[in-house]
Amino acid sequence: MEVIIKPDYQQMSAAAARQIADVLNRKPNAVLGMATGSTPLGLYRELVRLHREESLDFSQVTTFNLDEYVGLPVTHEQSYHYFMHENFFKHVNIPRQNIYIPSGTTSNFPSFCQWYEQRIQDCGGIDVQILGIGSDGHIAFNEPTSSLSSRTRLKTLAKPTIEDNARFFDNKEQVPIYAITMGVGTILEADEIVLLANGKNKAKAIAAAIEGPVTSMITASALQLHPDTRVYLDEDAAGQLQMREYYDWVLKMKPGAPKA
């Protein structure tokens, strides 16, 4: 795991966007795994800027989103379909037919989940997966005690997640209780993983995920088993890391790193 700590949200987002842009420049038909939530908004803004100002091309890209609420129509402002369209897809040139987001309104969840997993395989697997982290340490909607080899499935959300998400709805009663989500096992199969976190309310989960034991109680800790994960943090989210100095030292001493 590589831990990259930036002074603020903007610089954290720009550094993560640079990694995604490098993947696209190396492999223009890359398969990207997408996350929603407030964390990756800066990353998406930066990718849109690179598309507009530096001709970063998405015309051969395929995307798979991590998750979607069950029961919200795609036109609902809090659906992840709506979120992705508004914050990213409508601003770049990804062909419509290359965009995959789990269906929260399918009539057959088990067969949809199987189909989704198969589509990821048929597209060659995910080259780089973008992730945020919940304050309870979840990745996608893999809540505490999710199997670390879980696959795409229907999941009951934990109360802290429902409470975290309540800020986006008129009241807590409107927050969906179920989601369809890629599993931890699905995520771990991505070639590269980019985990982003900012703000003090993520500091505890980040310390547990990076420096704690691998445990289904913090599903992000399973990323310790992944060979190519980079974690991009702002100072606040890095606030509880014990090995902070080491992470900075590693980056400074990286072969090819510019001498300060």
Binding mask 119-148 for ligand F6R (x = CB under 6 A): -------------xxx---xxx--------
Q: Decide: is 35 part of the binding site for ligand F6R (CB under 6 A).
A: yes
Q: How far is the CB of 97 from ligand F6R (least distance, A)?
A: 22
Catalytic residue among 46, 68, 127, 138: 138
Q: Is 103 in the site for ligand F6R (CB under 6 A)?
A: no
Quick check: 39 binds ligand F6R (CB under 6 A)? yes
Residue with tokens 């505890």: 204
Round to whole Å and give the CA distance between 10 and 175: 29
Confirm or reject binding of residue 67 to ligand F6R (CB under 6 A).
yes
> With respect to ligand F6R, which residue has the nearer C-beta, 60 or 135?
135
With CA atoms as reference, report the closest residue to 87 among 35, 20, 41, 132: 41
**Residue 136 a catalytic site member:** yes
The one-character DSSP state at 199 is S
CA-to-CA distance for 190 and 33, rounded, in angstroms? Answer: 8
In the numeric block, the tokens 């974690």 are attached to 231
223 binds ligand F6R (CB under 6 A): no
Report, in Å, the least distance between residue 249 CB and ligand F6R. 28
Start-to-end CA distance of the chain, whole Å, equals: 23
Tell me if residue 67 is catalytic: yes
The answer to whether residue 33 forms part of the interface with ligand F6R (CB under 6 A) is: no
Q: Which residue is nearest to ligand F6R (CB)?
A: 132
The one catalytic residue in 46, 68, 117, 136 is 136
In the complex, which residues of this chain contact ligand F6R (CB under 6 A)? 35-39, 66-67, 132-134, 138-140
Q: Residues with catalytic annotation?
A: 67, 136, 138, 143
